Structure 1
Amino acid sequence: MPHSDAAQHTTRDGKVTASDETGARYGFTVTGEETGTRLDKYLTTSLAGKAKAPDAPLSRARIRQLLETGQVLLTAKPGDAARPVSDPAYKVREGEHIVVTVPAPRPAEPVGQEIPLDILYEDDDLIVIVKPAGLVVHPAPGNPDMTLVNALIAHCGEQLSGIGGEKRPGIVHRLDKETSGVMVVAKSDRAHQGLAAQFAAHGRDGKLERAYTALVWGRPEPASGTVDAPIARSPQNRRKMATVRSTAAGGAREAITHYKTLKSWGEPPLVSLVTCHLETGRTHQIRVHMTSIGHPLLGDPLYGGSQKTRKVKLPPEAQKALERLDRQALHAHLLAFEHPASHEKMRFEASTPNDINDLIGKLEQV
């Protein structure tokens, strides 16, 4: 609840909301003219133009985050209980009352910390690095420091651009903590805007390309193919994502992964080396999609399920290598994009790290 000394904000329908260091709450009532508007668009317009929210305009990603984390409540008519709504495509209706809580952004305090960076390229606008497994991209509960952002602040200083309201300097995409590979970070506002637009287009404009190397259980059939399955947060486990039948499901977003099997070991195949190209970029996308077709990644603690029965079929040395890996066998080996200032086509590759190579070497004994 807001503190007693909170600043007051009056919404267009007379509802008074409050804000303080913990965030702000805004209330809106849908008019007849607004009926049928997508919820995400309605919230973007209302927060930016009518509530005069101090941290507006909020990005589409930020609006989606508010929806996914239960910060948007809807009441259909007076007297009804408010319910959380998470589907950005929900069409609002006249008379509905919507309350949005916008948590205060984390302080930018980006404290520089001397963490070694594997730099592939750097200029005044951007920096391309190879993120090692185990390094978190940006501060979050449980990982308040010693992140990639902290390392970048130490390296680039105040040159990093900020991301409105989210306090993640220069970050335009991310890799999971235990996924290694190539990342690009913006060092100027124009680079941030240009790169963010390319990642939002997911390569469909021909500018962006992302490819990953993965080790999966079994051998996908067909050996090459496309997984086209929307992804939403799992209702059973909020830490996990899951495939759903359509984007009509609450919070679901289109997700497409193209995969190709490069090599398999064992007869019948026990493990396969695959490369995955992303047509979209959803949370845990490759891990979720490969699991959905029955071929989870080796070492994946969240989506791999119990791997004991599969693991015991491997040679002893391969089993030990898998234990040493102690993470999902996933590496972002390729990132290509258009330089946001020079418009030059940039292409960067990172060789497979030693822990995955060690496991591949032991699989050769199968």
Structure 2
Amino acid sequence: MNALLAHCGKSLSGIGGVARPGIVHRLDKDTSGLMVVAKTDQAHRALAEQFADHGRTGEMARGYLALVWGAPSRPHGRIEAPIGRHPTSRTKMAVLPEDKGRFAATRWRLLESYGGHGKDAVASLIECTLETGRTHQVRVHMAHYGHPLVGDPLYATGFKSKLRTLPGDLAGAISALDRQALHATHLAFVHPSTGTLLEFNSELPDDLAEIVRQFKQL
């Protein structure tokens, strides 16, 4: 926020409030990747409408790369499961019954798996596309599906023993990651003034790319 204020000054939109000037959407803490910031109120309103719609009626799209434990049994799929605040842990979200959670849907596609195939795979790289924007959505849905994110401090605690089965360098790299292996890799939206479709892509950052490189050597 301070960097944005210093760079853009008074041109930033204030719709998001004093704490988040110009911020149209959020990423989970420690999730890397693409974000969009509005510099005017007009841009903020137009972009906020697109993000609230989640591409259901327009061309807006958000894609993530997730490094998960194990491998799905299918090449692609869709997870539809309501998400709400965890009943006992206030720092976590959880899949809840329909009357207690908010509708949430995530489409996923298996890109590659490591250390084996199918149920024998140690880990996989998954592309996720959001149909909704719930807090921790990708992390909760993939954990619910049985494939929590590598390094996730909230939703993959039961998979810490996996590290003991990995080569030392790889186990060390994952331990040093200190965050979930999730990266916002793709962002598309319509320019609020020109109506042009804008698309942006971001490669995996060095920390995740190094872990993927080592997984490929299994």
Q: Report the TM-score range of the alignment, normalised by the length of the smaller protein.
A: over 0.9
Match of 2:27 among 171, 175, 179: 175
- Letter in structure 1 aligned against 2:111: L
Structure 1 residue 258 and structure 2 residue 107: aligned? yes
- Letter in structure 2 aligned against 1:291: A
8 Å Cα contact 1:216-1:298 kept in structure 2: yes
Structure 1 residue 162 and structure 2 residue 14: aligned? yes
**Distance in 2 (alpha carbons) for counterparts of 1:335 and 1:165:** 24
CA-to-partner distance for each residue in 1:138-162, whole Å, 9 max, x for gaps? xxxxxxxxxxx11100111111111
Q: CA RMSD in A?
A: 1.2
1:165, distance to aligned residue in structure 2 (A): 5.1
1:166, distance to aligned residue in structure 2 (A): 6.0
Greater RCO, CA 8 A, separation 6+: 2
TM-score by length of 1: 0.57
8 Å Cα contact 1:315-1:365 kept in structure 2: no
Q: 1:165 to 1:273 in 2, by over 3 A?
A: closer
- Structural mapping, 1:37-186, within 5 Å: 149-163=1-15, 167-186=19-38
Q: Matched residues, percent identical?
A: 52
Structure 1 residue 202 and structure 2 residue 202: aligned? no
- Structural mapping, 1:184-333, within 5 Å: 184-246=36-98, 248-249=99-100, 252-267=101-116, 268-333=120-185
Quick check: which one's helix share is greater?
2
8 Å Cα contact 1:334-1:348 kept in structure 2: yes
- Letter in structure 2 aligned against 1:286: V
**Distance in 2 (alpha carbons) for counterparts of 1:226 and 1:298:** 20
SS at match of 2:23: coil
Aligned to 1:336: 188
Q: 1:232 to 1:170 in 2, by over 3 A?
A: same
8 Å Cα contact 1:324-1:355 kept in structure 2: no
Listed as ranges, the gaps of 5+ residues in structure 1 are 1-148
**Distance in 1 (alpha carbons) for counterparts of 2:52 and 2:38:** 15
Listed as ranges, the gaps of 5+ residues in structure 2 are none
- Structure 1 window deviating more from structure 2 (321-330 vs 348-357): it is 321-330
